[in-house]
Chains A and B, each alone.
Chain A
Amino acid sequence: MVEDGRPVSIKIDHVSKIYRTGSGGVHALDDLTADIAEGEFVCILGPSGCGKSTLLWGMSGLHDLSAGQVVLNGTPVTGLRPEIGMIFQEANLLPWRNLADNIRFPFEIKKIDPKPYQGRIDSLLNEVGLAGFENKMPRELSGGMQQRASIVRCLSYDPSVILMDEPFGALDAFTRDEMNLLIQKIWMETKKTIAFVTHNVTEAIFLADRVFVLSPRPGRLAKVYRIDLPRPRTIEQTFTPEFIDMMLEIKAQIQHGGGTALRST
């Protein structure tokens, strides 16, 4: 399936995952199939423990799948792929390095000379409002600043696909709004393919082109919602009736598998 005539970037093909544990297996993902188009922003939403992080880690090549495969840009993912960038639940900066050295970390691991990328890094730092903080240690930065730094770190080497695992879950509501606006801005400028795992319905609708709702464990693709709100979207928009209707519908889908709505009127 090709979205809007755009080529498929990530093809999730009958993916299953069973974790082996002492007390038998835990069925995390069951026969999940979906496509993500190039330059598309997809949010993966679902109840706690439904396997949404498992799916993301499977897409990253960091964890094996029990069955099925993920095809990225035409080749099956069997291990790490340089075109993928990951953003984690916490900023995950190395506390013994200052901001500039943290951003240089991927280059050191990949053994790439960061010099040609320095202009890009500087303009990214500028964009997220961290210019001038290069020599600060992570503990001197606020939670939001740390997460912005981790976004710069991820974008610095220009990956074409970004996988985000509940990146703003630990931030307060205001900082989260700010980060969502920032991510939207960056995405609109760079047109990266983004898969974004979250358990926050508002965040998912605000950011996504399409929202994948997973069923409770074992995770299956319960429903796909296309979000056609015009961009750039604003935080005010999240309080419009149109937005709230969509939110309630998705919430109902998550909680009751569709069926009864939560609306009290």
Chain B
Amino acid sequence: MASELRENIPTFEQSNDAQSNEVGVSNMSALTNMSFARNGWEALIIIGVAVAVIGGLELFLRWQNVPKYTFPLPSDVGSALWNKWDLFQPHLIATLKVLFSGYLIGAAIGIMLAALVTQFPFAEKIITPYILLLVTTPMIALVPLLVQKMGFGMAPRVIAVSLAVGPMVMINSATGFRRTDLAKIALARSYGATTLQIFTKVRFPLALPMIIVGLMVGAIFGMLTAVGAEIVGSSEGLGNRLMFYSSRIQMDNFWAIIVLLATMGILIYVFFYWVGKRWASWQA
């Protein structure tokens, strides 16, 4: 019977549930616990191991006389990056352009949709299957189709990236927006907060950690889609270069591109790790 009374009275036990973390695609806590060295010693060891791995690989390849078209020497990859930077740079910029524009469009739509849809549970039920469909279908598959319609310009790739980013951001943000802490909303209302103020001062900050997770997962998916789309249907970009260099068996250049892509991925991760530390550390 007591539970019936809760229809209108905010009950404060519920706020505890809001703290619990849903486990799934969205939970990246295992990844976000990574941190760099605590002191000079640790840093020295970390760098030492990295040098040993790369140097060891170099020595092993030289000793075994592995042909360069199978696996280039790390030093060759390094010198390719250094000496042929002018060749790679325009393609790096092309990829970043597609990634950024697609990401901005997708992430903005994703967050807005999540904020909107979580207000109306029924709308959420209607829309969720389509979002799941978008999440699970590789958006690269759309690129050849879009290229047929729109040509080899940026547009098909931007569309593919935003379709890959949007749903990822949306699903995670929606999880965040669904954490309605009734006690905190009641608190804001007791000061006379408007719906907009409740959104900006309570619901949004409460959802922010999940939004950041969504933005990070979305950025990584966006990068994968951008490169994939370039492999499938583009005359520029790092993905296109991968195809180009591997078809010419220029493995040093090929690996230089892979190093660039890996660096991009790590930078994305580090950036969001920093954002999470700065804006969502209260949840730890």
Chain B binds chain A: yes
Q: Which residues of A contact B (CB under 8 A)?
A: 19-21, 23, 26, 28, 48-49, 53-54, 57, 60, 62-63, 80, 82, 84-86, 88-90, 92, 94-96, 105-106, 108-110, 137, 139
Listed stretches B40-48, B201-209, B252-260; interface member: B201-209
List chain A residues, Cβ under 8 A from B193. 109
Q: Would you give the shortest CB distance from A192 to chain B, in whole angstroms?
A: 16
> CA–CA, A60 to B184, complex, Å?
16
- A110, B192: Cβ atoms closer than 8 Å: yes
Contact with A along B187-210 (1 / 0, CB 8 A): 111111100010001100110100
- A84, B8: Cβ atoms closer than 8 Å: no
Task: Give 23 CB contacts A-B under 8 Å.
Answer: A19-B4, A19-B5, A19-B7, A23-B4, A26-B5, A48-B2, A53-B9, A54-B9, A57-B9, A63-B8, A63-B9, A82-B192, A88-B12, A89-B183, A90-B12, A95-B283, A96-B206, A96-B208, A105-B188, A109-B188, A109-B191, A109-B192, A109-B193
> CA–CA, A85 to B202, complex, Å?
19
Q: Which residue of A lies closest to B190 (CB)?
A: A86
Chain B, 199-229, CB within 8 A of any chain A CB: 201-202, 205-206, 208
List chain A residues, Cβ under 8 A from B8. 19, 57, 63
- B7, A92: Cβ atoms closer than 8 Å: no
Q: Which residues of B contact A (CB under 8 A)?
A: 1-2, 4-5, 7-9, 12, 15, 183-184, 186-193, 197, 201-202, 205-206, 208, 282-283
List chain A residues, Cβ under 8 A from B12. 88-90, 92
Task: Say yes or no: A21-B4 contact (C-beta < 8 A), given A90-B15, A105-B201.
Answer: yes
Interface of A is mostly: mixed
Pick from B2, B4, B190, B206: contact of A84, CB below 8 A: B190
**Other contacts beyond A92-B183, A96-B206, A109-B201: 5, CB < 8 A:** A19-B4, A88-B12, A89-B12, A90-B15, A96-B205
Q: Which residue of B lies closest to A57 (CB)?
A: B9
Q: Would you give the shortest CB distance from B188 to chain A, in whole angstroms?
A: 6
In the complex, the 4 A-B pairs of residues with the closest C-beta atoms, listed nearest first: A109-B191, A96-B282, A86-B190, A21-B4
Task: Say yes or no: A110-B4 contact (C-beta < 8 A), given A90-B183, A137-B282.
Answer: no
List chain A residues, Cβ under 8 A from B2. 48-49
Pick from B1, B187, B201: contact of A92, CB below 8 A: B187
Pick from A20, A57, A62, A108: contact of B201, CB below 8 A: A108
> CA–CA, A26 to B2, complex, Å?
10
- B5, A49: Cβ atoms closer than 8 Å: yes
Q: Would you give the shortest CB distance from B64 to chain A, in whole angstroms?
A: 55
List chain B residues, Cβ under 8 A from A94. 184, 202, 205
List chain B residues, Cβ under 8 A from A84. 190
List chain B residues, Cβ under 8 A from A137. 282
List chain B residues, Cβ under 8 A from A89. 12, 183
- A26, B192: Cβ atoms closer than 8 Å: no
Q: Would you give the shortest CB distance from A265 to chain B, in whole angstroms?
A: 35
List chain A residues, Cβ under 8 A from B192. 80, 82, 109-110
- B190, A80: Cβ atoms closer than 8 Å: yes
Task: Say yes or no: A62-B189 contact (C-beta < 8 A), given A49-B1, A54-B5.
Answer: yes
- B1, A26: Cβ atoms closer than 8 Å: yes
List chain B residues, Cβ under 8 A from A19. 4-5, 7-8
List chain B residues, Cβ under 8 A from A96. 205-206, 208, 282
Task: Say yes or no: A88-B186 contact (C-beta < 8 A), given A54-B9, A63-B9, A95-B282.
Answer: yes
Q: Would you give the shortest CB distance from A153 to chain B, in whole angstroms?
A: 9
Q: Which residue of A lies closest to B8 (CB)?
A: A63
